[in-house]
Amino acid sequence: MKQSLQLKIGQQLTMTPQLQQAIRLLQLSTLDLQQEIQEALDTNPMLEVNEEEHAAAQEQAPNGEAPANGADTGTDGSRESEATATAEDAEASTDSDWSEEIPADLPVDTSWDEVYQGAPSGSGQPADSDDSDFETRRAASESLHDHLHWQLNLTPMSDIDRLIATAIIDAVDANGMLTLSPEEIHTGLQLEELELDEVVAVLHRIQQFDPIGVASRDLSECLFIQLRQLPEATPLLNAAKAIVRDHLGLLGSRDYKQLMRRTKLKEPELRDAVQLIQSLNPRPGDLINIGEVEYVVPDVFVSKREDRWTVQLNPDIAPRIRINPDYASLVKRADTSSDNTFLRDNLQEARWFLKSLQSRNETLLKVASCIVEKQRGFLDFGAEAMKPLVLHDVAEDVGMHESTISRVTTQKYMHTPQGIFELKYFFSSHVSTDSGGECSSTAIRAIIKKLVAAENPKKPLSDSKITTLLAEQGIKVARRTIAKYRESLGIPASNERKRLV
């Protein structure tokens, strides 16, 4: 083989560290972004919180506002966000000096926080603000097992019974139901001269613990235990007990005719008995295992001003940071010492970080403005007016790649007059109409939900009937598609929605 030299011209995309950082910040959620900013503040001495701008942002509307109506919603500079200062502006800004002095004599009971103001947190929310969330301050929630063991410690029992009770509690799942039979618990204890009746007796004592119905072997027993706790004077209590104990399967299938025949109840009496059963809790463990409350913080606010939809970034999702001008002035160009190299590298990283934050905000604002422009019908009239939209449509309008649009719309939320929605909510496929147009799948789901809400409870709409009703409106949807949309909305089938009025 003969060796030769060849010259080729080609293009190649290189992922620089700055580009990698910009992409990573772009796909972060609000909470992750706050943690990233706080980490940057902790590790880079060149970065600091601009307290003056951050305090002003709490009182005034953000500057990153863009109209989203008509021709004014182009991809020009009117959409760009000014929520994050650029590196050049950050270096030119001045730092406010700490003017308060610590008194020489302090009272004995004075705490350090009363005389010294620390740096603000990553969320920009004062620790003692009236708006602070109580959920973030409370202790860890108690589990169902902890709650049952606490009651067990207060209950007088013999050592053998306490051992059995501990085994029973350990076999209770998060819903409060018993996962092992008394026979299996009896076998697992491996205690000589232990009778099965003793295990059942301790089980009955555990079932009286709070919440009522815990450690039940099945749904019928769970509901029956709760009914036994009600006063004897409760109307139709005995009928409800009979249904739960002997005819729960018929109630689950909503075979009311067979129920009336078996229980010899009239329709009004059966309706009241069913309502009494429906007031019970089939999963008693949920009363204890509430879990931590998670709140959605919107990244973008959409409001209507003078008949025009406007889009603005949430100024509270991250603190306003800048480059410390005092530290930046210490960097010397010709100095190659280790200290100067450290300062110069951190200054460069701080500039990249600020530029990446600005790029993230500008991209988010552009994409949100484009979505609002295309979904003005949804903002005015609700989900039934949602238009079909895919990532490619937004990517063409803002001049970006579809993968970038996907990153921007993931775990980013928009606050609208219709509610708070993830940006991906506004993207949906289309279904053809008789007139040759297109209807969004989100709009079809909203129509299905509306039809089911207005149906006759005695004769619920079947999937075929819903298909016919949509066809009358000019929307061509197959029955299996209706079933898929209905299941995605959490709406049960027609035979499960049937109930007595």
pLDDT of residue 33: 87
What gap in Å lies between CA 206 and CA 223, rounded to an integer? 15
**CATH no. for 428-497:** 1.10.10.60
Phi, psi of 148 (to 5 degrees): -70, -40
Residue for token pair 């100095």: 335
What gap in Å lies between CA 74 and CA 76, rounded to an integer? 6
Q: Which H or E element spans position 486?
A: helix 479-488
What confidence tens digit (pLDDT) does each residue in 168-207 have? 999 999 999 999 999 999 999 888 888 999 999 999 999 9
Tokens representing 227 are 């009914």
- Cβ–Cβ < 8 Å for 409, 367: yes
**Angle, in degrees to the nearest 10, between helices 196-206 and 159-170:** 70
Residue for token pair 């089911």: 452
Instruction: Concatenate the DSSP letters of all residues of 16-35 into one string.
Output: -HHHHHHHHHHT--HHHHHH
Instruction: Please give the average per-residue pLDDT across 303-313, as a whole number.
Output: 90
Instruction: Please give the average per-residue pLDDT across 467-491, as a whole number.
Output: 89
pLDDT of residue 414: 94
* DSSP annotation of 328: H
> Confidence band (pLDDT; 50, 70, 90) for 60?
low
Residue for token pair 């500039």: 351
Q: Is residue 17 pLDDT above 90, yes or no?
A: no
Instruction: Concatenate the DSSP letters of all residues of 28-71 into one string.
Output: --HHHHHHHHHHHHHH-TTEEE-HHHHHHHHHS--S-EEE-SGG
Q: Is residue 72 pLDDT above 60, yes or no?
A: no
What confidence tens digit (pLDDT) does each residue in 257-298 have? 899 999 999 988 999 999 999 999 999 988 887 666 677 889
Mean pLDDT, the chain, integer: 80
pLDDT of residue 121: 40
Residue 212 CA, chain-centre distance (Å), reads: 30
Instruction: Please give the average per-residue pLDDT across 409-436, as a whole number.
Output: 86
Full-prediction pTM beyond 0.85?
Answer: no
pLDDT of residue 105: 46
Q: Is residue 154 pLDDT above 90, yes or no?
A: yes
> Confidence band (pLDDT; 50, 70, 90) for 335?
confident
Residue for token pair 């590196």: 87
pLDDT of residue 245: 93
Q: List the chain domain ranges.
A: 17-93+296-419, 144-287, 428-497
Within 13 Å of residue 414, how many CA atoms lie on the same side as its CB? Answer: 27
pLDDT of residue 114: 45
Considering only residues 386 and 15, tell me which one the structure prediction assigns the higher pLDDT. Answer: 386
The burial class, CB within 10 Å (0-12 / 13-18 / 19+), for 418 is middle
* DSSP annotation of 456: B
Q: What is the chain's length?
A: 501
Of 50-54, 141-145, 180-184, 234-238, the least confident? 50-54
> Confidence band (pLDDT; 50, 70, 90) for 336?
confident
Residues 6+ apart with CB under 8 A from 22: 355, 356, 359, 360
